[in-house]
Amino acid sequence: MRKNSKQREEIRRVLASTKTHPTADWVYDNVKQSFPNISLATVYRNLSLLVEEGQALKLTSVSGPDRFDATIDVHYHIACEKCGNIFDVNLPVIVGLEEQLETLTGFKVKSHTVNFLGTCTKCRNE
Amino acid sequence: MRKNSKQREEIRRVLASTKTHPTADWVYDNVKQSFPNISLATVYRNLSLLVEEGQALKLTSVSGPDRFDATIDVHYHIACEKCGNIFDVNLPVIVGLEEQLETLTGFKVKSHTVNFLGTCTKCRNE
DNA sequence: ATCAAAACAATAATAATTATCGTTATTGTT
DNA sequence: AACAATAACGATAATTATTATTGTTTTGAT
């Protein structure tokens, strides 16, 4: 049976407070403000729990640590090669893709992600 | 100035010989047949070089080590949650997406990937 | 209030990848 | 063909990211 904890609540809050798709380490640093003794392992443990429960997404990039996202409704991402930041993309979600793929392949398709790579507006002007 | 090496040539050959999107370790094991003394670091080093030169792609999955792909023309992937394998998807590449995104965001867009997650036909029937 | 189990902090362990370093191989130049 | 410069090598240490372990504390159902 799942039990609540102050720490998990705060991790959830910190993650939900940003759109920067932070790493576990970033969450750790921020949760420290209210829980100075929290352990990084606790942050990893709870981020995994949140992902497991469908309350957060784990993103994965070509290099660097995993990132987490409290926005769980389907949306796409673009990563900036230069600054490494990941941004949400406002494109409408492509519909019918998954069904098309199921018909085509016989797979059971659960989800899909679309990831763009490029240079963000800020980095272009530097 | 880049110099050739027998090892790099063999790594390239082994990677091109499969459609399984292997890990560095798998490539290492296979290259060992012709170069028993090769070092894993050499495999990593050369896979990175191939990626850098645009002769291979580095894929990234939600869990587990990075995977490499000698097929560089744009195509999409589907990962099986159960067996962990990654397969090529025969869907036509979506055109115009990147341009649309550039207009929308001011980003310079270089590439995009589409990754499906699901259960492959084989694992469904087990 | 009791008590089992869940969660914690601290930290060791593991997995994946990259860096270092002394040696070997490749390649342009004599 | 021999030479010199340096890229690449193999062995291995170091680093990074994440997960597992362990003894203690907190939670929540009874």
Q: Which position has the higher pLDDT, B104 or A15?
A: A15
Burial class (CB in 10 A: 0-12, 13-18, 19+), A51: middle
Inter-chain touch A110–B117, beta carbons under 8 Å? yes
Q: What is the mean pLDDT of residues A42-68?
A: 95
Please list the residues that pair with B113 across neighbouring strands.
A115
- For residue A61, give both structure tokens: 């990039």
Per-residue model confidence (pLDDT) at position B63 = 81
Q: How close does chain A come to B50, measured CA to CA in Å?
A: 15
Contact B76, B91 (CB under 8 A): yes
Per-residue model confidence (pLDDT) at position B83 = 87
Please list the residues that pair with B94 across neighbouring strands.
none
Per-residue model confidence (pLDDT) at position A57 = 96
Q: Which among B60, B80, B87 is the nearest to A61, CB-wise? A: B60
Mind listing the pLDDT tens digit for each residue in B7-33?
A: 999 999 999 999 999 999 999 999 999
Least confident window among A22-26, A72-76, B27-31, B82-86: B82-86
Which residues of chain A lie closer than 8 angstroms to B93, CB-CB?
A: none
Per-residue model confidence (pLDDT) at position B119 = 94
State the pLDDT confidence band at A82, using cuts at 50, 70 and 90: confident
Inter-chain touch A117–B110, beta carbons under 8 Å? yes
B98 to chain A: nearest residue by CA? A116
Contact B93, B74 (CB under 8 A): yes
- For residue A45, give both structure tokens: 């443990």
Per-residue model confidence (pLDDT) at position B102 = 96
pLDDT at A17 over 90: yes
State the pLDDT confidence band at B62, using cuts at 50, 70 and 90: confident
State the pLDDT confidence band at A10, using cuts at 50, 70 and 90: very high
Inter-chain touch A111–B116, beta carbons under 8 Å? yes
pLDDT at B61 over 90: no
Contact A109, B124 (CB under 8 A): no
Q: Which position has the higher pLDDT, B62 or B104?
A: B104
Per CB distance under 8 Å, which residues of A are interface residues toward B? 58, 60-62, 78, 80-81, 87, 89-91, 94, 97-98, 100-102, 104-121, 124
Residue A105 sits at φ, ψ, to 5 deg, of -115, -20
pLDDT at A47 over 90: yes
Q: Distance, angstroms, CA A60 to C1' C17?
A: 16
Pairing state between β B108-119 and A67-69: unpaired
Which residues of chain B lie closer than 8 angstroms to A89, CB-CB?
A: 101, 104-105
pLDDT at A126 over 90: no
Length of chain A counted residue by residue: 126
Q: Distance, angstroms, CA A27 to C1' C8?
A: 17
Mind listing the pLDDT tens digit for each residue in B91-106?
A: 999 889 999 999 989 9
Tell me how far apart the alpha carbons of residues A115 and A109 are, in angstroms, rounded to a whole number.
Answer: 18
Per-residue model confidence (pLDDT) at position A52 = 95
Contact A59, A86 (CB under 8 A): yes
Q: Which position has the higher pLDDT, A26 or A61?
A: A26
Q: Rg of chain A over CA atoms, in angstroms?
A: 17
pTM: predicted TM-score of the whole model, two decimal places:
0.92
Per-residue model confidence (pLDDT) at position A77 = 96
Per-residue model confidence (pLDDT) at position A46 = 98
Least confident window among B33-37, B66-70, B104-108: B104-108
State the pLDDT confidence band at A62, using cuts at 50, 70 and 90: confident
For residue B101, the number of C-alpha atoms closer than 13 Å in the C-beta half-sphere is 30
Cβ-proximal residues to A98 (8 Å cutoff; 6+ apart), any chain: A109, A111, A112, B116
Tell me how far apart the alpha carbons of residues B31 and A71 are, in angstroms, rounded to a whole number.
Answer: 43
Tell me how far apart the alpha carbons of residues B77 and A73 are, in angstroms, rounded to a whole number.
Answer: 21
Please list the residues that pair with A111 across neighbouring strands.
B117
